Amino acid sequence: MSEIHSKKKALGRGLSALLDNTETENPQKEISGEYTAEYIAQVRIEQIEPNPFQPRAHFDENELRELADSIEEHGIIQPLTLRKIGHNKFQLISGERRLKASKLVGLSQVPAYIRLANDEQMLEMALVENIQREDLNPLEIAISFQRLLEECRIKQEDLSQKVGKDRSTISNYIRLLKLPSEIQVAVRDNLISMGHARAIINVPDEQSQLMILKKILEKKSSVRDVEEMVRNLGKKKTSIPQNNALPAKYEKAKLSLHDKLRSKIDFKINRKGAGAIIIEFKSSEDFDRIISKLDA
């Protein structure tokens, strides 16, 4: 019972608990060169210097604000990666958007992986070993895969061999990181499964994704239920009426017939140009009136 309570408490601390290891967590220990690839530390923002090699010069303000709102509500899902460059001094390797958004929210510290300048091999070994753990949730595995690809510059086919999983499986995990933060949190907290998340990924817009998440949580929907929701959503979108504007000559004829017969006129035309003229009548007497006008 105490173990379950402890796990819930760790999740309740927010996203800084991701990939945390209770054996290495020591609040008394100073952040120093002792910390290597497998550690997550809470680092004060003023101790972090920007990456001078950051190729991206512009960050969309609206996107940053949205990310800031998400961080304010859910915390930071993916810890930043920092390089230690001195005593209590760190340089950002990845996560500049997360750092900027954290500053907007007014956070004083952020969760980060601490790396040494020459520990790339150690990082790779730690992450590969981490993926083999049976207690990781899908989001934690996805983050580890992403770090191996981006930070260790491993090709996906080589990664497949290192971790013993096919490339499609790795891709499916990494796609989880493109989902809205609310859904990532639900995966992290085991409120929904990998199967649920994979079905939601196929929905193109975020609003619909979040709507499906809400239904899953409210109705305890199975993966099969969610797959059916996604299929039905696709059918609704494809059934939206297209622009059926008639060519000018048909519109002109339609107006002329309406003026003559004083009835609603419609045309049905297929792609080959064949079709039908539909004349609406409201009663037997109205039908006789229309026929008499056509005979005139």
Contact 138, 197 (CB under 8 A): yes
- Tell me the residue type at 13: R
* Residues 6 or more apart in contact with residue 287 via CB below 8 angstroms: 281
Residue 251 bears catalytic tag: no
Select which of 66, 96, 120, 227 is catalytic.
96
Q: Report the catalytic residues.
A: 96
